[in-house]
Amino acid sequence: MDFREIEKKWQKIWEGEGRFRAVDFDSKPKYYILVEFPYPSGAGLHVGHTPNQIAMDIIARKKRAEGYNVLYPIGWDAFGLPTENYAIKHGVSPVVATERNIDNFKRQIKSLGISFDWSREINTTDENYYKWTQWIFLQFFKKGLAYKATVNINWCPSCKIGLSNEESEGGVCERCGTPTIQKPKTQWMLKMSAYAEKLLQGLDETRFWDNIKTMQRNWIGKSEGTLLHCKLDTGDDFDIFTTCIETIYGITYFVLAPEHPLVEKLKDKIKNYDQVLKYIEKTQRKTEFERTELIKEKSGCPLEGIYAINPINGQKVPVFISDYVLAGYGTGAVMAVPAHDERDYDFAKLFSLPVIEVISGGNIAEQAFEKGEYLGKGCRLINSEQFTGLTVEEAKEALNKYLEENKLGQKIATYKMRDWVFSRQRYWGEPVPLVYCEKCGWVAVPEEELPVTLPKVDKYHPTDDGESPLSRIDDWVNTSCPNCGGRARRETDVMPNWAGSSWYWLRYMDPHNDKAFADFDKMKYWGKVDIYNGGGEHVTRHLLYARFWHKFLYDNGLVPYSEPFDRRIQQGIILAADGSKMSKSAGNTVDPMIYVERFGADVARLGQMFMGDYVEAKPWREDTMKPCEKLLKRIVALADRVEQGQESENKNILAQSIKSIDEDIDGLKFNTAISQLMVLTSALEKAKRVTDYDYQVLLKLLNPFAPHISEELWSQKGYKGRIDEGWLEYNEDDLKTSLVEIAVQLNSKIIARVNIGTSLTQDEIVSQLQKDEKIASALEGKNIIKVIYVPNRIINFIAK
């Protein structure tokens, strides 16, 4: 029997009858299973894709059998750099390359027998799709959540190209190895920070794994503290943010980020402005490497002639700039309390600045006494005027109250999460649908003119000054202003990779709609994604972007639910056979498709699921394929022994198997489910009689894992009904056996193992055991003070 032939046959049948089509508004309960849609690279499906799709396919098939209307869709996240780079290198249009890659992926996925609903296939590079990506962007723009700002990008001075963080890992350009620098560039930004609190709160509505929630919370990085209004002796105002307002009397200087606007503003008053400028330039020249690896080394520059005033006591203290203060967090300025902050302590030493201790209990001659050490320990304030003597916790409250009453500050929360840099000076992405008019400024392209399609270009390479290749196409760039009709220029930036994937699960619910991104009632019917499976690397960025877009749409009445995903799960990363990371450069990648070719899809599916716990990281092994092939061959061979009839002598093992496989699939324990299939198969092989009933149960249990062969055997046997309709149930009574082996313990040490009747009471068991010679002699002369009996497992005699 050639599995591969059978598989082709059934794949054709399924496709022909549209077996896995999800039906809008069906009366069955809905179940929405989502796997992250793949990036169709030239390399084809890899081991990061196949286990996900197989695992979710097992769940999808089981859910359908249980009577759910299952939506299990697939599509292509096809915009992005790899394809663009391929186009640059080979002079092929990215459109053509993408098409080719998708065809290959599709063929591969289909050969695995994944039960996707292909009628809902989507592609982010399809005009009918990115029309709506652009449309959603315009809603952000219209609500004021898209804005232009100058931010630093990773820049390769040799390639003259802006790089993503991934392309400049380790601070060097991925292609030429030149150290990258930070270059300021105007970019479109999405005001994600406005949703920080909502993204944080919304997590409570989800059933994501706790570790995923924690990662998201850490990424959002909420911290509560005080916004303190400060003044310079020049009369200029600035704010600082602190979580340690209790240390306010310990301020001995202030530090501004080098990029802080006050620095530029005060250039005439800063005596050593030359020196300051030099420091700022040095900071900008710092490579990513220096910023991450050499961070602990403090540096800075005083603003000579400028003093700041501590708002609580009017003390005049010096002001510095230093790159240890980040422009993008808080207010880009800090109060420095060297006695109680390690960074300030180091910096104060470098510049010989005074250290004022304001919380007692530490040893500030040696090191800073930080909040981590003094919080919650009842430490009290010193050197703090009327607040002296209060505990830290009391002081926090009293100071906040005092500052608020005197309009010197207020309690606020800040977030680490930044706004989203939303433009790329590239070609292969969604054009940003805006035009710039000298008179009207940035104007949205009218919605009825969407999509703004990507024009064909000859060169996909960015220009030497880092502008998008689109900027070279004059007749595309030059347009008229939708507002005033005057001359205007199109935005030549495109959207980042992440754009198309920030709403795709909505499109699956209504993929062919040309009036809206998706019909509201259909979204209401399909609801939240019940289970969203994806890689751990997307838990922070993609998952936050997606939730951000969704929440924005919800706030504007465009989607019916405030959270997009109910559960989020992830598979463990697949490592190379030696436990190292798989990577192209290490040359240790594995092509999962060779196993389909060698063994067939059913074996490849089983083999991948049998490798280990789905959720844990694990090395790829191919030695699981053979035993899985063996299992299928044994099940095929068993068919010859099957006798007619619906009675069964194997009810116990069947019930056990149904129970454990059912629970294992729901709990993502596919490896143990397969073990149980092996156990069940062995049991049936040894059984005196195997009836149609027994065999049907086996095939049904096998079906989600190995859908082709199970259906083939089902059909060969001429069984009525469809194998994938109606899941299995078991009778509690069938789980029980009449005899069971239990361990007999004396003072928790095993002295014997005996078979006992499961219906016996503790007393009956004890009297039976006392007749056992070995046990009786072990217990002889002992004073039994207690007997612990755990039914069907152990009996423990506690004796002196």
Considering only residues 522-551, where is the footprint of RNA by CB under 7 A?
Answer: 536-537, 540
Among 34, 58, 196, 257, which residue sits at the site for RNA (rule: CB under 7 A)?
A: 257
Count the residues of the shown chain that bind RNA, applying the rule CB under 7 A.
79
User: CB 464 → RNA: shortest distance, Å?
Assistant: 30
Of residues 580 and 770, the one with the C-beta less far from RNA: 580
What's the CA gap between 700 and 65, in Å, rounded? 9
Among 45, 227, 244, 593, which residue sits at the site for RNA (rule: CB under 7 A)?
A: 244
Of residues 179 and 536, the one with the C-beta less far from RNA: 536
Of residues 116 and 797, the one with the C-beta less far from RNA: 797
C-beta separation of 39 from 100 below 8 A: no
Binding residues among 406-445 for RNA as defined by CB under 7 A: 414, 416
What's the CA gap between 510 and 521, in Å, rounded? 10
Of residues 175 and 291, the one with the C-beta less far from RNA: 291
User: CB 324 → RNA: shortest distance, Å?
Assistant: 3
Structure tokens at 275: 């020196």
What's the CA gap between 415 and 220, in Å, rounded? 6
Among 186, 223, 367, 731, which residue sits at the site for RNA (rule: CB under 7 A)?
A: 223
Instruction: Tell me the pairing of strands 574-575 and 618-619.
Output: parallel
Among 44, 179, 221, 362, which residue sits at the site for RNA (rule: CB under 7 A)?
A: 221
What's the CA gap between 304 and 315, in Å, rounded? 17
Structure tokens at 444: 């949205």
Of residues 175 and 753, the one with the C-beta less far from RNA: 753
758 touches RNA (CB under 7 A)? no
What's the CA gap between 18 and 683, in Å, rounded? 36
737 touches RNA (CB under 7 A)? no
User: CB 283 → RNA: shortest distance, Å?
Assistant: 9
What's the CA gap between 706 and 98, in Å, rounded? 31
DSSP state of 366: T
624 touches RNA (CB under 7 A)? yes
C-beta separation of 76 from 105 below 8 A: yes
Of residues 323 and 530, the one with the C-beta less far from RNA: 323
Binding residues among 545-604 for RNA as defined by CB under 7 A: 581
C-beta separation of 228 from 248 below 8 A: yes
Among 201, 292, 313, 480, which residue sits at the site for RNA (rule: CB under 7 A)?
A: 292
Among 75, 94, 332, 704, which residue sits at the site for RNA (rule: CB under 7 A)?
A: 332
Of residues 646 and 759, the one with the C-beta less far from RNA: 759
Structure tokens at 152: 């630093």
x/- map, 178-217, RNA, by CB under 7 A: --------------------------------xx--xx--
740 touches RNA (CB under 7 A)? yes
C-beta separation of 468 from 426 below 8 A: yes
Binding residues among 654-673 for RNA as defined by CB under 7 A: 669, 671-672
What values do phi and psi take at 407, rounded to 5? 55, 35
Of residues 473 and 575, the one with the C-beta less far from RNA: 575
What's the CA gap between 533 and 21, in Å, rounded? 20
Structure tokens at 255: 């530090």
Of 5-13, 67-75, 651-659, 747-755, which segment contacts RNA by CB under 7 A? 747-755
Of 62-70, 399-407, 718-726, 792-800, which segment contacts RNA by CB under 7 A? 792-800
243 touches RNA (CB under 7 A)? yes
Of residues 401 and 630, the one with the C-beta less far from RNA: 630
DSSP string, 44-96: -S-TTTHHHHHHHHHHHHHHHHTT-EEE---EE---SHHHHHHHHHHT--HHH
User: CB 178 → RNA: shortest distance, Å?
Assistant: 22
User: CB 537 → RNA: shortest distance, Å?
Assistant: 6
56, 60, 61, 64 alpha-carbon torsion, rounded to 10°: 170
Of residues 525 and 670, the one with the C-beta less far from RNA: 670
C-beta separation of 11 from 4 below 8 A: no
Instruction: Calculate Rg over the CA atoms of the chain.
Output: 34
Residues in the chain: 800
C-beta separation of 347 from 255 below 8 A: yes
Of residues 292 and 480, the one with the C-beta less far from RNA: 292
373 touches RNA (CB under 7 A)? no
What's the CA gap between 48 and 573, in Å, rounded? 7
787 touches RNA (CB under 7 A)? no
793 touches RNA (CB under 7 A)? yes
